[in-house]
Every structure is written in C-alpha cells, then in structure tokens.
Amino acid sequence: MKFTLGWLKEHLDTDADIDAIGEALTRIGLEVERIENPGEKLADFRVAKVLNAQPHPDADKLQVLSVDAGGDPLQVVCGAPNARAGMIGVFGPPGAYVPGPAFELKIAQIRGVTSHGMMCSVRELELGDAHEGIIELGEAAEGAIGVPYSDYAGLTDPVIDVAITPNRQDCMGVRGIARDLAAAGLGTLKPLTEVYAKAGGTEPVETTGDGPDIRIEDSEGCPAFYAQSVSGVGNCESPSWMKRRLAAIGQRPISALVDITNFVMNDLGRPLHVYDMAKLDGGLVARKAKPGEQVLALNEKTYALDDSMTVIADGAQVHGIGGIMGGEDSGVSDMTSDVLIECAYFDPDRIARTGQRLNIPSDARQRFERGVDPAFLEEGLAIATRLVTTLCGGTASGITRAGEPPVEKRSVAFRPDMVRTLGGIDIDTETQRAILDRLGFEIDAENTKSLVPTWRRDVTGPADLVEEVIRIHGIDQVPSTPLPRPAGVAQPTATWEQKLERKLRRAAATRGFHEAITWSFIGESEAAIFGGSNWTLANPISEDMKVMRPSLLPGLLTAAQRNLAHSEDSVRLFELGRRYIGDSEHPTLTLVMAGDAAPRSWQSGKSRGFDGYDAKAAALALLEAAGAPVSNLLVMGEAGDAWHPGRSATLRLGPKNVLATFGMLHPRVLKAVDLDVPVAAVEIFLDAIPEKRSQGFLRPAYAPAQLQAVTRDFAFLVDADLPGDALIRAVRGADKKAIVDARLFDVFTGPGVDEGKKSLAVEVTLQPGEKSFTDEELKAIGDKIVASAEKQGATLRG
C-alpha cells in the first residue's frame, strides 16, 4: 500500500514529520517497507524556456536552442520534434544524472556544436512512458523559470510504502491508515466532508429520473449491487492534484473517469467500476458465469469462466469479473458521454477462489478478498458520482439499490483485565476505552461489550480487542519478563539437531552471509524448476504460493534479485529452513552469492564475480563447522537440472550419501527470477550429516605436535579429465599416520606436457610423532605416495 505524506495529511491533521510517521506506522503494526522522495533524483533539473531555435548546421533532425534556465542563456542541441522558440520545458544541466537512460550529462560536442545539457522528455525523467518529444509545461510556468522542476511539479512529497498484513483490510486505503495514526496520538482524523470539500463534498448530488437497470441473480457471490448513471459527461484529463497522487504510487493517470475510480480505491479502500453505457446491451446483472463463457479483461487478456465465478453481464455478454477486473468491451474512452458507476459488495471467499483460479492479481481483488466495508456502499457511490459530475460534468440519475450488504454489527465481549493477563501490561479501563473509541469501536456503559465497526472484519473475540489496545499503546511498552527458573544448574535440553542449526547459523554469519527468512510455499512454476512439489495447499494465499517448496533457492533468489535491484553490489544470503520432498520435510542450509565477490582494486582494475570455487569453499567450511568428516568427502557430479552443467558438483560421504550441492546455477533458473548476473549457491542437507558419537561434556585436551612438520612437493602427469580431488585422496591415503594434509597448488598444460595430459602439483604435509623423520623414512613415504598416485593413472613428472 503506497501513499504520499501530503496525501496522508489530507485525512490526518498532524504536525508530525515523515520520520515520526514512519516510526509510528511500524510501531502500531503497519510495517514500513521503504520511504522514498521522488523529487530527490530530479533535484538538478530546472524549469526552462527556449528563447530561440535554429537548425543544426550539420544535421537535418537536430536544432540548436538557446535556453533560459534562470541564468545566462545556454546553448543546447536538441532532436525533439516539438522543440521551438517560446516553449517552456524541463532542462538538465551538465552534471545532472538522467534516471531514465541512466547517464550523467556532460558538456558535449554534437556534430561540431557544443551542447550544455539537454531538454528532457517524460520517459527520460521516469515520469511516464511518453518519449515522442520534450516536456511542455505551458504558459502557466512562465513565472517559474529557473525553479527546480521537482518543486514546481510537486514531486517532493515523500512516498511511503507500507506492508499491509492480510487481516488489516481497513488499511487498504489512506483513510484507514490515518485512522490508526490518529488513534496512536499522531493527530486528529479529519471528517470526510472536510477531506472532499475541494472535490465537491460527500453529499449525494441532485438527481433526475430513475436509476439504471441492474439486478442480482447470484446473491451469494454479490449480496449488494448499487449503481448510478451520469449522462452528458466529458471524459477530460484529471486535475493535477489527482494525477500527481496516482503517479506517485505508480499508477499511470489515464482519464478523469478511470482516475476517479483508482483514486477512491486507494484513498478510501473502496473499489468501483465505470461502464460506458453506449456499449451495453440492456441492463446489468450480477450472476454466475456460464461454463464456456469468456471475457476480454481490461488487461487485454481473455479469461475462460466457469459457474463458480460471479460476473457482471448485460443481455449479450460478460462485462466484468465481479470484484476483480472489468471488461475491455465496456471500458470508457475519450468519446464516452454516458456512464454507469458500479459500487458493489462481493463475497471475500468467492473473490479469493476466483482470483486464484484465474491468476489475476488486481488491486480490486486485493481489497475485496480481504473484505471491504459493507456499510460504505451508499457513501462511496455518492463520493464517486460527485467527483464525476464535478470534474466531467453531466447529470446524475437516481440510485438503484439491488440486494442488501451484510452490515449488521458484531458484538464481542470487552474484558479490560485481559490486557494484563494476555499482554502482560497494566492499562486502565478509561485509556482502553479511549483507544478503542478512536479506532471506531463502541463500548457499552458497563464496560462489558463492544460493537465492532463494519470495516474490521478481522475482530471476532475479546483477544482481538486486547491486540488493538496493546499495539496502539505500544508493544515496546510491554515489559520483558523472564520465565521462572528452578534453583540449581539447568540440564541441557537442546537436541543435536538444534545445536547443529545454531552452530551453522553462527558459522554462516561469520563468513559474511546475511540470514534471510522466505516463504515456505511458492508457485507451481517455480517448484517445477527444482523438481516439482508433492505438497499442494488446499487454500493458498495466491497462485504464487500454492505448493510447499522443494528447495530454498526460489525464495533466496527472489531476495537476491530485490537486493541487486536496490543497488547492492554484493549479495550473500543464507537461510536455514525446511524443504518438502516426497512425504517428508528435510532441514537444509542454503546459501546464494550474487554480484561482486571482490570490489575493484588497483591490482585488477575491475571487480570479480562469484564462481563455483567460492561456493565450494563455503560448503566445505560450513560442513567442517557442522562436524562432518570433510577430509573423507568425495566431489562428484549430478548436482541436478537447476545447476550449471560442468560448473557444479556434489559433496558426498560415500557414493550415495549426498551432504551438499554447490556451484553455479543454470542460466535458465536465473532467467526465471529475472536475474542477469551469475549466481553461486550451496545447499547443505543437514539430515545427511552423520551425528557424532557423544564424548561427554568435556573437550579433549589441546595437544599440539611437539616436532616441526615436513612438506614435500610432487608433480604428477595425469589424464586431462582426471579430477584433482581423486589424486589428492589417493595421496592422503598413501600413509594415513604420517600424512596430515595434501593440497593441490598448481595445474599446468603446455610445452613439455603431452596432448591429453596435464601436470598436477601437490604439496604434502608430513607430521612426525615421537621423533623426526630419517631420510630413509621420508623416501619410503614418498615411494608410497608415488605408488598410490600411479593407481589413479598418474606418473611422477621428471
């Protein structure tokens, strides 16, 4: 849910600044995801006037402009077809960063003519899609020459993005959020009549004649259907205040009739729909769809319908999927003169099932499936009709009211003492009453019952009232109270699995990874990439969360993509959670690495991306932290279809027990989540790690070696396709008592090495026991190493 600070203050009388409001929103349970000021990126751009325009001497499609941006005239080369003397537009000086094409303006030579900046289009400033010409501000901007464009256009209003939980349907509009803030003491909620005073008010308009022809045949899916028509409208451009607010939250202004419905939906949480009456065949009916019916929706997609779905139709065809999306065939246009305004109440469960089946994630569906206020049909229709007549003219008909909305108020027990017993905090009864009153609840005189407002479908019992009181009073006010603990030394209760998970979390964090927690359910298409899922939810939140995840990678890749999109250069994430495969769940530690593994430096001149070796190093380090016998692990292939062939592998304890998968992910997987950089990843399967035998609570005494270790280097010629890991294992096994380590430190092909061969150089560390090695003993160990390597087809290089 997005809105601007200025928009919020239309409903909330407050002096609080953006920081105080952001902090208060999160404190009362409306988590702020981000606060952005769209004017900051346009701070360098100025309102400017073209003094004169001359043809470019060496290019037919370019002009040389003299531009007044509030100082001395500047020479600018421009290729826009609408550039001309006298026009007022937006100028970017040298040094300004143009967000659309993403480059910094510099003084440049264009076909031999110096250009000091540029005149900008809407697309170049990321204010819309238009790019046929530069912005024209009109004569009204004559007095603003040299003024920052963001100030002139009112783009300095901060945009607040709030994550609304599914139970808070009342906060799917700016007014609901303002009500919560007022209850938290950040101001006073303004009356709707004051809020809509400049838009004509909220009272019903004068009407002429009967209301439009509407009826209900599916009262279960659509209990109430109100409508009013307006004839003789002119579908003009919306006023600037409405366009600015819609554009600020990411909605493209289209026309006054369309923008009014979008504005009321976001402002008051009340979805509406407007039909062009000239495109209707008779009256409208809310009915069940017939099997085989189709509708061309406003998103230009055709949907097949069935009789479980509620639709709005006329005598000829379906014109809308009730509560989700209208139809293209009856949509309004610039030629529309007569409209029908629909304000209906649709059953939330029916909307949710229909939306999931058709996979349409519309703004209207978000609100209807959570449950809009059933008591706001009359007032919502009156506000929409008055906006239409005020902005577009026309004459309104009477109102037709089909059906009855479920407006009966529910009563729940009010028990002030439960705030202490459930919430652990003492709040006097009068303070509780005051909080609930500001939220719209009605408490009886005996303090025993509360009437729940119609916009709070989520409140069903006394515990819900406790939650409301505590979140508004402040969850941070709840004291931290330790649980009672008996005297004496507590016995350890953590299981081996719990200790392992704690150890791995610390180890991953120590290596620079940030922990993420993602959804356990994903879409079927995402699951298919990782082998599919046998666990399907009976009532999923959406089609994108329909099955239980067979891998933790989809959620982590989405998180990595989001971080990279917000200009993070290097992303290192891990999650310890459950995979759901077959008929059981499996604890898994998953890591993803994307972006820069190392930043630019004076040595390389450029950054280095993550590769499969980074993934292998992380996998081995974490397995070692988990207590796995790392020295005994085999590196083998068959990582799976989601992994890059040839750049991924598995770590196994024996040929069948896979402890981890590591390497680079397949480009097909990255494309599916819109990632355009290589990604290294690791999956460690905790249930495959063997549990150590208990050795009591004491650690073995630290006993460092008494004698200095000896290192010897060996260079072997092997087949080019022999894995280095196979040679290392053979060398280590030559003398398990004396050899404590062996590592590959050089690979060479070229002069002196036969075709199809390669040279592998191995450093072997030998640790003497009670006495130092003699020359004869070292030679004997070296002979064992060479003999063991020869079993892998290796020969000692001369």
- 8 Å CB contact between 178 and 21: no
Per-residue model confidence (pLDDT) at position 699: 67
For strands 284-288 and 214-216, give the pairing: parallel
Is 259 annotated to bind a ligand? Reply is: no
350/730 Cα distance (integer angstroms): 66
Under the phi-then-psi rule, with left for phi > 0, alpha for psi from -120 to 50, and beta for the rest, what region is 418? Answer: alpha
Q: What radius of gyration, in Å, describes the C-alpha atoms of the chain?
A: 35
Residue 636 amino acid letter: M
CA separation for the pair 702, 659 (Å, rounded): 29
Q: Are 294 and 304 in contact (CB under 8 A)?
A: yes
What pLDDT, on a 0 to 100 scale, did the predictor assign at position 599? 87
Tell me: the pLDDT tens digits for 220-235? 999 999 999 999 999 9
Q: What type of residue is 646?
A: G
The yes or no reply on domain 199-403 and CATH 3.50.40.10 is yes
> Given this model, what pLDDT does residue 695 score?
56
Do 411-476 and 2-37+157-190 have the same topology in CATH? yes
Q: Which residue has the tokens 């004496």?
A: 488
Which among 239, 314, 253 is positioned nearest to 280, based on CA atoms?
314
Note whether 272 and 342 are within 8 A (CB): yes
Question: Quick check: 677 and 667 in contact, CB under 8 A?
Answer: no
Strands (E), 174-235: 188-189, 214-216, 224-231
The two structure tokens encoding residue 583 = 């008929």
Which residue numbers in the chain have pLDDT < 70?
A: 129-130, 693-699
Determine contact, residues 681/615, Cβ cutoff 8 Å: yes
CATH number assigned to the domain covering 496-688: 3.30.930.10
Give the DSSP per-residue string, 519-537.
-SEE-HHHHHHTT--S-B-
Cα dihedral 496→497→498→503 (10° resolution)? 90
- β-bridge pairing 325-326 and 318-321: antiparallel
The 3-state DSSP class for residue 710 equals strand
Residues 150-189 as b/e (b if ≥16 CB within 10 A, e otherwise) read bebbebbbbbbebebeebbbbbbbbbbbbbbbbbbebbeb
Q: Cβ(348)–Cβ(370) under 8 Å?
A: yes
Question: Is 544 marked as a binding-site residue?
Answer: no
Fold of the 411-476 domain: Phenylalanyl-tRNA Synthetase; Chain B, domain 1 (3.30.56)
User: What is each CA distance from 682 to 497, 558, 607, 668, in whole angstroms?
Assistant: 20, 16, 22, 17
Cross-strand partners of 288: 310
Eight-state DSSP code of residue 297: B
Distance of alpha carbon 10 from alpha carbon 458, whole angstroms = 26
The CATH number corresponding to 40-152 among 2.40.50.140, 3.40.50.150, 2.60.120.380, 3.30.70.920 equals 2.40.50.140
H helices then E strands: how many in the chain? 20, 42
Distance of CA 368 to the CA centre of its chain: 22
Instruction: Please give the CATH topology (third level) of the domain spanning 2-37+157-190.
Output: Phenylalanyl-tRNA Synthetase; Chain B, domain 1 (3.30.56)
Q: Which residue has the tokens 């003169």?
A: 337
- Name the pTM for this structure: 0.66
31 carries a ligand binding annotation: no
Element (H, E) at 491: none
Q: Which helix (H) or strand (E) holds 157?
A: none
Distances, alpha carbon 13 to alpha carbons 3, 190, 393, 397, in Å: 16, 6, 31, 35
Tokens representing 30 are 């409306």
How many whole angstroms separate alpha carbon 117 and alpha carbon 108? 8
Q: How many angstroms separate the CA atoms of 574 and 560, rounded? A: 10
- Write down the pLDDT at residue 632: 84
| Beta-bridge partners for 398 | none
- Find all residues with CB under 8 Å of 304, minimum gap 6, and list them: 292, 293, 294
Determine the Cα–Cα distance for residues 75 and 112; give it in Å rounded to an integer.
Answer: 13
E strands along 42-107, which residues? 46-55, 63-68, 74-78, 88-92, 97-98, 103-104
Q: Could you tell me if 659 and 685 are in contact, meaning their C-beta atoms sit under 8 angstroms apart?
A: yes
Distance of CA 520 to the CA centre of its chain: 16
464 is in an annotated binding site: yes
So what's the pLDDT on residue 698?
59
Q: Which of 426, 410, 5 is closest to 181 using CA atoms?
A: 5
Q: What is the CATH number of domain 710-796?
A: 3.30.70.380
Residue type, 64: V
Q: How far is CA 176 from CA 26, 263, 268, 396, in A?
A: 15, 14, 7, 29
Please report the pLDDT score of residue 475 as a whole number: 87
How far does CA 401 lie from the centroid of its chain? 40
Let me know: does 610 contact 678? Beta carbons within 8 Å: yes
- Domain ranges for the chain, please list them: 2-37+157-190, 40-152, 199-403, 411-476, 496-688, 710-796
